Structure 1
Amino acid sequence: MGEQLHRYVLPKVPELDLSDVQAIKVYGSPSLALLLNAKPLDTKLFNWRRPEFIRLGSFLHCVTSPGRDYTWHYAKLIATAGLIRGEQRPVLLTQPKRYEMDWFIDRWLPHSLPDADVVVFGYVQQLFGREAEGVPWNHCHGFGWKHIDVAGASVLLLGCEFSYWGDLAGSLTAAILRREITSWVLYVGKLGSLDPSLAPNQWLATGQSSVVDGVPFTWRGRLQYVRPTGRMLRDICHVTMPSVIDETREWAVEASQSCQVVDPEIGQMGRAAVKAGASFDYLHLVTDNLVKDFDQGLYDERSKHVASQRKSLLLEAEQMIRRGIIQTC
């Protein structure tokens, strides 16, 4: 993000009095009650819980949802905010164990979820307005869902109040598939481009491969058999990174030699699907460009212009999902 980095980082890390703070401790908690209500509920049903900052003695505690990638991401955010504000403190990171991540998801994911031909994560509030209209959201702590009919197939729209960033998305995918709710998971989200020709908020991307921890792998999807929309990028090379702050200029130059897009979740979800023998697809809005400045990016996501462009892309994503359902269900 270059000179715009502060616009992304600083709103995520509150400006607190650190004059007598010895260090900042970052760790995950299994309690949703410790996650901050950072979004007005009348405008956003999902993804509104945020890490809480708590002062205890000479330490400032940052409590997040218990994902290894998410705790790493927030430790990097805090360290970067300290550099920008000129008030650096040691950042002490305690990452959760894998079993703690899985336990957290199993604890909060409702056991009453119905079976479906496809489970859709991500931008679920914005999809299938015609079919979902009049169908109320079922709510519990952490999640909400709708069970609707689309072109004769059952679709479970699954929303989440907290951020299932990075490998926590893999745990969520694994839990859904382990419970045999579906054999097809589809994630509608956003990612960054490593291709200088791709302007933000103009393209959708999908594929069946990613590079995670330096290891490339592929999974079985269904959208590769579906006729694409006009602004669809297909069969592209994706790389999974745990934090936006890890995506430095030097890294982007090297990664762009072999990959076109990047985000924290796709490879983790695809790997979980491979392990379960299920189908996985992503259908993502290309929302920023890491190698060329288009004056749009993660730092201005709430502008009216960006919102209008994304609404148009989500309509195309919905059209693509319909085609996939009709053709493969």
Structure 2
Amino acid sequence: MGEQLHRYVLPKVPELDLRDVQAIKVYGSPSLALLLNAKPLDSKLFNWRRPEFIRLGGFLHCVASPGRDYTWHYAKLIATAGLIRGQQRPVVLTQPRRYEVERFIDRWLPLSLPDADLVILGYVQHLFRQEAESVPWTHCHGFGWKRIEVAGATVLLLGCEFSYWGDLSGSLTAAILRRGITSWVMYVGKLGALDPSLAPNQWLATGQSSVVDGVPFGWQGRLQYVRPTGRTLRDICHVTMPSVIDETREWAVEASQSSQVVDPEIGHMGRAAVKAGASFDYLHLVTDNLVKDFGQGLYDERLKRVASQRKSLVMEAEQMIRRSIVQTC
């Protein structure tokens, strides 16, 4: 993000009095009660819980959702904010173990979720408003859902109050498939471009492969069989990274030689689907460009013109999903 980095980082890390703080400890907690709403809701039903900062003795504790990537991401955010503000303190990261991540998801994912032909995660509050308007959200601590009918198939729109960043998304996908709720998961979200020709908020991207920890692999999806809309890019080369802060200029130059887009979740979700023998698709809005400055990015998501452009892309995403249901269900 270059010179705009502070606009992304600082709103996520509160400015606190650190004069007597020896170090900042970052770790995960299995309790949703410790994940608070750090910003106005603005009718935002999902993804509003954020890590809590608690001062105890000579330490500042950052308590986050117990994801290995999410705690890593927040440790990087805190360290970066300290550099920007001139308030550097040692950041001590304790990453959760894999079983703790899985246990957290299993604890909070409701047992009462209904079966569906397709489960959609991510941008669910904005999808299929015509079909979903008369169906109320069912809420359970941490999640909310609607089961609607789209093109003759049952679709479960599953929203989450906390951020299932990185490997948490893989554990969520695995739990959904393990419980037999569906055999097809789709993630509609946003990602960054490594291709200088892809302007933010103008394109949708989808594919069936990613690189995680330097290892490429693929999965089976259904969008590959669908005629794309005019602004949908298929067979995109994707790379999964644990934190936006890891996406440095040097990294982006090297990664752009083999990848076109990047985000923290897709690879983990695809890998969970492969293990379960299920279908997985992503259909993401390209919302940022890491190698060329278009004057738009993650730092200005609330601007009206950005919201308008994304609304148009969401409508195209709905077209693609309908086509995939008609052709594959």
Question: How high is the TM-score relative to the length of structure 2?
Answer: 0.99
1:210-289 alignment to 2 at 5 Å? 210-289=210-289
Post-superposition Cα deviations, 1:29-60, rounded to whole Å, max 9, x if no partner, equal: 00000001124345100000000000000000
3-state SS of the aligned residue for 1:47? coil
Paired position in structure 2 for 1:120:
120
Write the distance in 2 (CA, Å) between the matches of 1:148 and 1:291: 39
- Equivalents in 2 of 1:39, 1:136: separation in Å? 24
Query: Which residue matches 2:97?
Result: 97
For 2:194, the equivalent position in structure 1 comes to: 194
Q: Secondary structure at the match of 2:186?
A: strand
- Per-residue CA deviation, residues 55-93 of structure 1 (Å, 9 max, x unaligned), is 000000000000000000000000000000111000000
Partners of 1:230 and 1:181 in 2: CA distance? 32
CA distance in 1, matches of 2:170, 2:38: 24
Q: Distance in 1 between matches of 2:320 and 2:142?
A: 28
The amino acid across from 2:100 in the alignment is E
SS in 2 for 1:242: coil
User: Per-residue displacement from partner, 1:267-290 (whole Å, max 9, x unpaired)?
Assistant: 000000000000000000000000
Q: Which amino acid aligns with 1:163?
A: S
2 CA distance for matches of 1:285 and 1:250?
24
Counterparts of 2:126 and 2:185, CA distance in 1:
17
Q: Which residue of 2 aligns with 1:292?
A: 292
Counterpart code for 1:28? G
Equivalent position of 2:6 in the other structure = 6
CA–CA distance in structure 1, aligned partners of residues 44 and 22 of structure 2: 36
- Are 1:16 and 2:20 matched, yes or no? no
Q: Deviations over 1:210-264 (max 9, x none)?
A: 0000000000000000010000111010000000000000000000000000000
The answer for the alignment partner of 1:321 in structure 2 is 321
SS at match of 1:120: strand
1:30-49 to structure 2, matched below 5 A, reads 30-41=30-41, 43-49=43-49
Partner of residue 302, structure 1? 302
Q: Which residue of 2 aligns with 1:85?
A: 85
- Equivalent residue number for residue 72 of structure 2: 72
Q: Deviations over 1:149-200 (max 9, x none)?
A: 1111000000000000000000000000000100000000000000001100
Shift of 1:134: 0.9
- CA distance in 2 between counterparts of 1:97 and 1:132 reads 38
Distance 2:19 2:38 in 1: 25
Paired AA for residue 161 in structure 1: E
Distance in 2 between residues matched to 1:30 and 1:146, nearest whole Å: 25
Q: Percent sequence identity over matched residues?
A: 88
1:55 matched to 2:55? The reply is yes
Of residues 137-146 and 30-39 in structure 1, the stretch that sits farther from structure 2 once superposed is 30-39
Residue 130 of structure 1: CA displacement? 1.3
Query: CA 1:125/1:67 → structure 2, altered by over 3 Å: closer, same or farther?
Result: same
The answer to whether 1:162 aligns with 2:162 is: yes
Q: SS state of the match for residue 44, structure 2? A: coil
Q: Which amino acid aligns with 1:57?
A: G
Q: Please list every run of at least 4 consecutive aligned residues from structure 1 whose deviation after the TM superposition is greater than 3 angstroms.
A: 39-42
User: How far apart are the structure 1 equivalents of 2:5 and 2:124?
Assistant: 28
Structure 1: how far apart are the matches of 2:231 and 2:238?
A: 18
> CA–CA distance in 2 between the matches of 1:26 and 1:172?
22
